């Protein structure tokens, strides 16, 4: 049997990167077709005259770039497509004609509401405003129109108690775009960034696309454990740490104030910038101060209108220390020149008319009711949630595994997510599932779905056929 053995001479830099680059080239030119098995680590190490550790790191790097997938005990295989998987593949939006009978707890969408009429009204009013129409048709400065930034900064300050300065705010094409921009100006390909061992899949995708090494940090019921960041920084140079202190996705953890101080202390000591993701905005009374308010010079803050107004508006907000603003504006220009002013115009009209405030308080009430419902239906189960949170993190009783529950629920028309798509690298996903309580169409659907999950757990998983 002949194994694929790359010629590494033409690849500069560390040998593990050379191995990953050779895999990339072999995938592109078809030498390694989809499904091909890479040589066992020891075999390739002997053939190349490197250590087994170097091969392991090389395969790990190739996996991080989305080229291969490896599972302990069964080998490393070339993925089905040569294009890197985004990491968001498990989160594709269901087709409009998806089974209407399904109760979908999969994606943390805003609670369904009749936003179409609100949009129609805003568009009609805009149509009668020639000055605003002109603004939305013109190229604008990269950070966005000043009046839009001012309205959005005021909204964040007054409705969400996030004290941001208009001058520091950049408008982006959604929160995920803001995350990409932050990583782009804080890192270079190959740099290490850190995040909780389970984190937002968009971060996994962004890190992969920007060729960053994403390293998992230990967590507890308050999210990232600062000592684990300190330990990592003693071993490696870490450029940034990504976190969601107010409402972690998927575990729903909220960091206490002392934890925030400790995390900032470690980050500042090691010169690591914190990327604070606050897309799931949380009212001021239900959380300690934001990291950005505690240490503005060390934090890049991200949020968006997606979870309160509408995801389709793609209005994101990025606030960074002043020293990063020119590079951010430059990066934004390189992506799209500016976020579309029309979208920001509509968001600002919803804010100025008071509609955004009404939507937010209606949604809060609805989320509160859905969370209370879940607490009642899951009274005998272990779970984590926030009183007005989008998600619920259900820790499964023995003998259930997350994948088994997901499949069993799907066969009964209920969609939930395992921790697997949130896992950084090979960080083990616990036997738990995430339920986005916000997503189903009604409270009745939420109750029905929760009862199916509970009743499924009361039974036994399907017995696997053993050969």
Ligand X SMILES: Cc1ncc(COP(=O)(O)O)c(C=O)c1O
Closer to ligand X by Cβ: residue 132 or 315? 315
- Where b means 16+ CB within 10 Å and e means fewer, 337-367 reads ebbbbbbbbbbbbbbeeebbeebbeebbebb
Give the DSSP letter of residue 429.
P
Q: Cβ of residue 280: shortest distance to ligand X, in angstroms?
A: 6
Closer to ligand X by Cβ: residue 259 or 434? 434
Closer to ligand X by Cβ: residue 132 or 281? 281
The residue among 236, 214, 210 whose CA lies nearest residue 426 is 214
Q: Alpha-carbon torsion 401, 407, 411, 417, what sign?
A: positive
Closer to ligand X by Cβ: residue 6 or 341? 341
DSSP states along 1-43: -PPP----TT--S-HHHHHHHHHHHHHHTTSS-TTPBPPPHHH
Q: Cβ of residue 244: shortest distance to ligand X, in angstroms?
A: 5
C-alpha to C-alpha distance for 349 and 172, rounded to whole angstroms? 17
Q: Cβ of residue 389: shortest distance to ligand X, in angstroms?
A: 11
C-alpha to C-alpha distance for 350 and 209, rounded to whole angstroms? 34
Closer to ligand X by Cβ: residue 50 or 282? 282
Contact between 108 and 304 under an 8 Å Cβ cutoff? The reply is no
Mapping DSSP to helix (H, G, I), strand (E, B) and coil, where does residue 386 land? coil
Q: Cβ of residue 412: shortest distance to ligand X, in angstroms?
A: 26
Residues 6+ apart with CB under 8 A from 9: none
Mapping DSSP to helix (H, G, I), strand (E, B) and coil, where does residue 115 land? helix
Q: Cβ of residue 422: shortest distance to ligand X, in angstroms?
A: 10
Closer to ligand X by Cβ: residue 57 or 177? 177
What does the binding site for ligand X look like in residue numbers (CB under 6 A)?
Answer: 108, 174-176, 200, 202, 244, 249, 277, 279-280, 304, 306, 311, 316
The CA-based angle 420-426-429, given to 5 degrees, is 35
Mapping DSSP to helix (H, G, I), strand (E, B) and coil, where does residue 234 land? helix
Give the DSSP letter of residue 311.
G
Closer to ligand X by Cβ: residue 18 or 241? 241
Q: Cβ of residue 19: shortest distance to ligand X, in angstroms?
A: 33
Closer to ligand X by Cβ: residue 32 or 279? 279
Q: Cβ of residue 343: shortest distance to ligand X, in angstroms?
A: 11
Q: Cβ of residue 78: shortest distance to ligand X, in angstroms?
A: 30
The residue among 190, 259, 241, 208 whose CA lies nearest residue 86 is 208
Closer to ligand X by Cβ: residue 21 or 111? 111
Q: Cβ of residue 439: shortest distance to ligand X, in angstroms?
A: 11
C-alpha to C-alpha distance for 181 and 200, rounded to whole angstroms? 16
| Token couple for 392 | 């619920």
């Amino acid at each position: 049997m002949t194994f694929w053995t790359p010629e590494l001479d033409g690849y500069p830099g560390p040998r593990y990167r050379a191995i990953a680059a050779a895999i990339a080239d072999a995938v592109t030119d078809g030498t390694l077709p989809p499904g091909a098995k890479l040589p066992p680590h020891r075999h390739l190490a002997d053939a190349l005259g490197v250590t087994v550790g170097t091969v392991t790191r090389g395969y790990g790097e190739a996996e991080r770039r989305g080229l291969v997938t490896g599972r302990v005990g069964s080998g490393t295989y070339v993925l089905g497509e040569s294009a890197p998987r985004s990491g968001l593949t498990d989160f594709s939006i269901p087709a409009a004609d998806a089974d209407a009978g399904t109760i979908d707890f999969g994606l943390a969408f805003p609670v369904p509401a009749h936003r179409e009429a609100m949009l129609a009204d805003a568009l009609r009013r805009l149509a009668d405003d020639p000055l605003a129409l002109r603004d939305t048709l013109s190229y604008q400065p990269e950070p966005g129109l000043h009046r839009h930034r001012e309205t959005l900064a005021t909204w964040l300050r007054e409705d969400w108690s996030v004290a941001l300065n208009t001058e520091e705010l950049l408008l982006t094409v959604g929160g995920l775009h803001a995350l990409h921009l932050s990583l782009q100006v804080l890192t270079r390909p190959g740099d290490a960034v850190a995040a909780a061992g389970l984190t937002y899949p968009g971060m996994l995708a962004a890190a992969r696309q920007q060729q960053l090494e994403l390293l998992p940090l230990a967590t507890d019921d308050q999210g990232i454990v600062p000592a684990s960041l300190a330990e990592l920084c003693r071993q490696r140079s870490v450029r940034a740490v990504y976190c969601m202190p107010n409402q972690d996705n998927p575990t729903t953890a909220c960091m206490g104030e002392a934890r925030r101080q400790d995390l900032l202390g470690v980050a500042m000591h090691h010169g690591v910038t914190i990327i604070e993701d606050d897309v799931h905005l949380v009212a001021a009374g239900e959380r300690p101060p934001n990291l950005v308010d505690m240490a503005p010079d060390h934090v890049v803050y991200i949020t968006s209108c997606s979870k309160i107004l509408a995801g389709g508006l793609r209005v994101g907000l990025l606030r960074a220390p002043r020293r990063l603003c020119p590079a951010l504006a430059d990066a934004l220009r390189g992506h799209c020149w500016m976020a579309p002013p029309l979208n920001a115009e509509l968001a600002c009209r919803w804010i100025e008319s008071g509609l955004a405030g009404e939507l937010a308080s209606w949604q809060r009430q609805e989320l509160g009711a859905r969370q209370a419902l879940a607490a009642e239906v899951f009274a005998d189960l272990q779970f984590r949630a926030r009183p007005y949170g989008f998600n619920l993190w259900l820790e499964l009783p023995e003998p259930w595994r997350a994948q088994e529950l997901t499949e069993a629920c799907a066969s009964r028309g209920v969609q939930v997510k395992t921790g697997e798509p949130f896992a950084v690298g090979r960080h083990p996903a616990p036997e738990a599932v995430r339920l986005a309580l916000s997503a189903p169409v009604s409270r009745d659907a939420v109750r029905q779905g929760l009862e199916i999950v509970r009743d499924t757990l009361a039974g036994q998983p399907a017995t696997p056929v053993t050969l």
